Amino acid sequence: MKIAICLRRVPDTTAKIAIGPSGVAIDEAGVKFVPNPYDEYALEAGIALKEAAGAGETVVVSFGGDNVQETMRTALAMGVDRAVHLQGTPSADGLANARVLADHLRDGGYDLILFGKVAVDDYGQQTGAMVAELLGRPCATAITSLVIEGGTAKVTREVEGGVESAQCSLPAVFTCDKGLNTPRLPGLKGIMSAKKKPLDVVPTVAGAAQVTVVSLALPPERAAGRIVGEGAAAVPALIAALTNDAKVL
């Protein structure tokens, strides 16, 4: 089983966001960057599937500037076999970025291509399904379970008011949601061996973007609230505020 996991480098979810001088991107000064949390479910799924199969290869692929190499080392430390850095500049156009990934993955002989369901920076939620469409492969997004038997994959995904079940043949593309698994933490041995694992750099150029970022702004601040009181004795004051001021009861 040959498995590709596509990885994004994103600001840590605890990071405070400030707008950079361009007015269309964040100020990266002092911001810690981490592997996209949802991509960690994809990494865990890929590593575990290869372990269970007892044979095959896992490859982490990331499109971006040179700083994605550090992020991919974390994936290698978790247990991925090798890394491919598609060196270039992603744009705000998810489809242009997806084309870069699809062009690289098309002839790679991958049985599975895995993504996180969403990157917690731009929340585009589109790259995985676009890559699948561009490659003409079956795809399920935001999966919370994955079972592979023979050449068939069975998945579930949460939809409003229920859990949808689906199946398809391999090769296939899936995007992974929380609940799929519990990602392993890299151990010391993994971190040491990650330094020696192959990391290939492939220069790439994305096509023209059809998307322009007009602006990036902080959301309006909430007006200051008030403490209505202390302990259970404050409940009548809260009920009054919810009834008369907020009118939500």
Site for another protein in 134-173 (CB under 8 A): 134, 136-142, 157-168
- Smaller CB separation from another protein, 159 or 205: 159
Q: How far is the CB of 17 from another protein (least distance, A)?
A: 4
Q: Does 88 engage in binding with another protein (CB under 8 A)?
A: no
Q: How far is the CB of 152 from another protein (least distance, A)?
A: 10
Q: Name the one range near another protein by CB under 8 A: 44-52, 72-80, 195-203, 233-241.
A: 233-241
Burial 91-113 (b: 16+ CB within 10 A, else e): bbbbbbbbbbbbbbbeeeebbbb
Pick from 147, 201, 202, 234 the residue near another protein by CB under 8 A: 234
- Smaller CB separation from another protein, 55 or 223: 223
Q: Does 92 engage in binding with another protein (CB under 8 A)?
A: yes
Q: Name the one range near another protein by CB under 8 A: 49-57, 61-69, 125-133, 186-194.
A: 125-133
Q: DSSP for 157-173?
A: EEETTEEEEEEEESSEE
Q: Does 34 engage in binding with another protein (CB under 8 A)?
A: no
Q: Say whether 91 sits in a helix, a strand or coil.
A: coil
Q: Name the one range near another protein by CB under 8 A: 103-111, 186-194, 197-205, 226-234.
A: 226-234
> Is the CB of residue 132 less than 8 Å from the CB of residue 25?
no
Tokens 């799924």 identify what position? 45
Pick from 87, 126, 181, 204 the residue near another protein by CB under 8 A: 126
How far is residue 131's CA from residue 148's CA, in Å, rounded to a whole number?
A: 21
Helix 37-53 with 68-78: angle, nearest 10 deg: 40
- Smaller CB separation from another protein, 57 or 121: 121
CA distances from 154 to 9, 124, 141, 169, 170 (A): 29, 25, 12, 9, 10
Q: How far is the CB of 86 from another protein (least distance, A)?
A: 18
Pair of tokens at residue 35: 């592997």
